[in-house]
A and B are shown apart, each in its own frame.
Chain A
Amino acid sequence: MRHTISVLVENKFGVLSRVSGLFSGRGYNIESLSVGETIDPNVSVMTIVTSGDDWIIEQITKQLNKLIDVIKVVDMTELDHVEREMVLIKVAPRSEDKAEVLRLAEIFRGRVVDSSPKTYTIEMTGDEKKIAAIVELLRPMGIKEFVRTGKIAIAREGIKKA
């Protein structure tokens, strides 16, 4: 099963390598990874999406906790949480599809952040399903480039799954 794990770490050199080495050294896969500073500049948060059975996920969280630079590990999948990812999609539609591309961007609350005679670049945030949906709809129009940030996640306050 797929898990989104949030890891608070000390913001210093080598930490990312320790975390990624933990995965690679054991043959576990990282599906996506995003890293950024928290409000406290000494602390970063890594959001890691990985998959495995319960045994593997248990090992991953334990091993992460064991790393000396790791402050806290939260398996978001066990909590009610919000997940977001940002994508930038460069579309090169035929002239007759241009209006449709803009309409889709609007429906998905995306924004056109760059346009050229032949392309639009759309910025959009959302969860996995929403991104998958717009990708499917834009694909026939001609996606030229596609980049995504990797997931970030935050727990909802007050409501925990039993």
Chain B
Amino acid sequence: MKISGAEIFIECLKKEGVKHIFGYPGGVVLNIFDALHDEKDLQLILTRHEQGAVHAADGYARASGKAGVVLVTSGPGATNTVTGIATASMDSIPLVVFSGQVPTLLIGNDAFQEADIVGITRPCTKYNYLVKDVQDLARIIKEAFYIATTGRPGPVLIDLPKDVTSGKAEFVWPESVSMATYKPTYEGNRYMINQAAHMLAKAKKPVIVAGGGVIASGASKELKELAEYADVPVTMTLMGLGCFPGSHRLSLGMPGMHGTYYANRAIQESDLLVAVGMRFDDRVTGKISAFAPNAKIVHIDIDPTSIRKNVRVDVPIVGDVKRVLSVMNKVLKEEVKDQWQEVRKAWTKQIDAWRKERPLTYDRTTDTIKPQYVVEKIYELTKGDAIIATEVGQNQMWASQFYRYDKPRTLLSSGGLGTMGYGMPAAIGAQFAFPNKLVIDIAGDGSIQMNIQELATAVLNKLPIKVAILNNRYLGMVRQWQELFFQERYAHTKLDETVPDFVKIAEAYNAVGLRATKKSEVEPVLKEAFSIKRPVMMDFVVDWREKVYPMVPAGAAIDEMLFAEDEKKSEKKLKAVK
């Protein structure tokens, strides 16, 4: 029996186990929306902007590990997804985005709401398709999910002309995918793994740098086993936070521009870096030529292009992190007889000294609200058992520094692209994946306004997400750069009088709005918010002067850090850097 393209679409998604689609209707996707109308097993979540739909699907994917699914219309609907797709692409998040397209005969005619979305998204998708024949639809959808979720995951876009969704074909579901040209390497080279294991055993000052690949690969258990067995400290990139317990004795927290003193010092002094599922982003390495000058580098990554892209690598291992680490653990336990405990003692002692010398800190004596205090209180009250989404900027860095992520998939943050407005829709997506979990978006007053319309999505779907706005009336991170590097000339970063009343906004959307202006009000506000089973927006009026420290100025080596406690001394350092 022949069924329509729209019906094939629905059957395919069901076969893929999809439960939620985030989307927004429009002219050329009406066939699909109409077919979805009576569908009980597939829920379409109407966002208030297509960008919000993609971020929500992305948050859903990061929290659950499953591919997020988006459905939007052609033209502006499709172009509005671009930022969301690029966000997912930079952070290797599996998404399948369906965009409507004008009928095939009109493609290229500058038809109403036509955009060459396949051309536009080519550089920010892992792959994309224009479906020209309804007969190909099922195979393409199957391939799209396969490509999005395997190898190094990423977003895939499928462009669906209107006549393809109305056209009819037999529904044939391909049970498996075989693509001659796409075969990711999963098994690491055994010789290289052996070599890495022996180097690790002999190293006097090893450090593991773990990234988002550990989470994508589901390798937290193997990583913990390796770190504990070989007694190696672990630092986690922003994308990697949670892949190794942040409260573990071996955790060094985050490295890089706003990383901990001890993580950066450990990297710089190390004689062996084991980089696992990370790609040496410039926010991690600082000045490349001065990065880990004494270290041999072992780099494990499923994407060969990540290896030797930014830094020299001594032992490259292309493969799935989980499989490589489990082989490495086996090799260490069975074949390597070295006794590293003795040679590492001095290293452990050194790292502990660094921890004590410069812990992450801020002024705890004030009556004004320090943003770090809010994050710390959130951690304390939730006991770390929450899913945290962040926006981008200072809020993101404080959320990374002062909350300890013990489990993978508990921090949702736009790392690579740094997309303001990501957090709240991502929290919405995560709440759909985990209806009973506490999901909190740690936001700034600038970022939250970039997708504030999604509050309506949360209210409509009765999602109890919490938004904690660290409201400093500035685009804080840019202001921080202006203070430090542009002689306090705050060009276009002061929002001040134009910051809306977030409590009233929340109420206008029929959500709950709460505000704290004094330190003593922070805890009661958080407690009240957590007790309400509805969306709550909290406005924490924080000290606008607060900056994110430590800070490595752009272009400096990662051990050339500035600290809050010696701002005066920093000025000299800054001059030197300039």
Contact = CB atoms under 8 A, between A and B. Distances in A.
Do A and B share a complex? Answer: yes
Interface of A: 10, 14, 17-18, 21, 25, 55, 58-59, 62-63, 65-66, 68-71
A21 to B, nearest CB: 6
B155 to A, nearest CB: 13
Given A68-B127, A68-B182, A71-B181, A18 B122 contact: yes
Given A59-B308, A66-B303, 14 more contacts: A10-B181, A14-B118, A14-B122, A14-B130, A17-B119, A17-B122, A25-B123, A55-B308, A58-B308, A59-B309, A62-B304, A65-B304, A71-B180, A71-B181
A62 B305 contact: yes
Residue from B119, B127, B181 with most neighbouring chain A CB atoms (10 Å): B181
A65 B182 CA distance: 9
A70 B123 contact: no
Contacts of A58: 308
B179 interface: yes
Contacts of B102: none
The 3 closest A-B pairs by CB, nearest first: A62-B305, A68-B127, A68-B182
Contacts of A55: 308
B147 interface: yes
A68 B304 contact: no
5 contacts: A14-B118, A18-B122, A55-B308, A59-B308, A66-B305
Which secondary structure dominates chain A's binding surface? helix
B181 A68 contact: yes
Nearest to B184: A66
Contacts of A21: 122-123
A68 B308 contact: no
A85 to B, nearest CB: 28
A65 B126 CA distance: 13
A69 B128 CA distance: 11
Contacts of A70: 181
Contacts of B126: 68
Residue from A55, A63, A68 with most neighbouring chain B CB atoms (10 Å): A68
Contacts of B179: 68
Nearest to A13: B130
Nearest to B152: A66
B161 to A, nearest CB: 14
A94 B126 CA distance: 57
Given A18-B122, A71-B180, A66 B127 contact: no
Contacts of A66: 303-305
Contacts of A17: 119, 122
A153 B179 CA distance: 27
Nearest to B118: A14
A154 B482 CA distance: 56
B218 to A, nearest CB: 22
A61 B456 CA distance: 47
A58 B310 CA distance: 12
A62 B302 CA distance: 12
Contacts of B181: 10, 68-71
Contact of B147 (A10, A63, A68): A68
A15 B13 CA distance: 27
Contacts of A63: 305
Nearest to A55: B308
B305 A59 contact: yes
Interface string B91-124: 0000000000000000000000000001100110
A10 B129 CA distance: 14
Contacts of B122: 14, 17-18, 21
A100 B253 CA distance: 77
Contacts of A25: 123
Interface in B44-68: none
Contacts of A18: 122
A40 to B, nearest CB: 12
Interface string B471-515: 000000000000000000000000000000000000000000000
B106 to A, nearest CB: 17
Contacts of A10: 181
B363 to A, nearest CB: 44
A123 B181 CA distance: 37
A21 B120 CA distance: 11
A14 B123 CA distance: 12
Interface in B276-323: 303-305, 308-309
Contacts of B182: 68
A58 B313 CA distance: 13
A24 B180 CA distance: 26
Nearest to B156: A68
A40 B482 CA distance: 59
Contacts of B309: 59
Nearest to B309: A59
Nearest to A66: B305
A48 B513 CA distance: 60
A62 B313 CA distance: 15
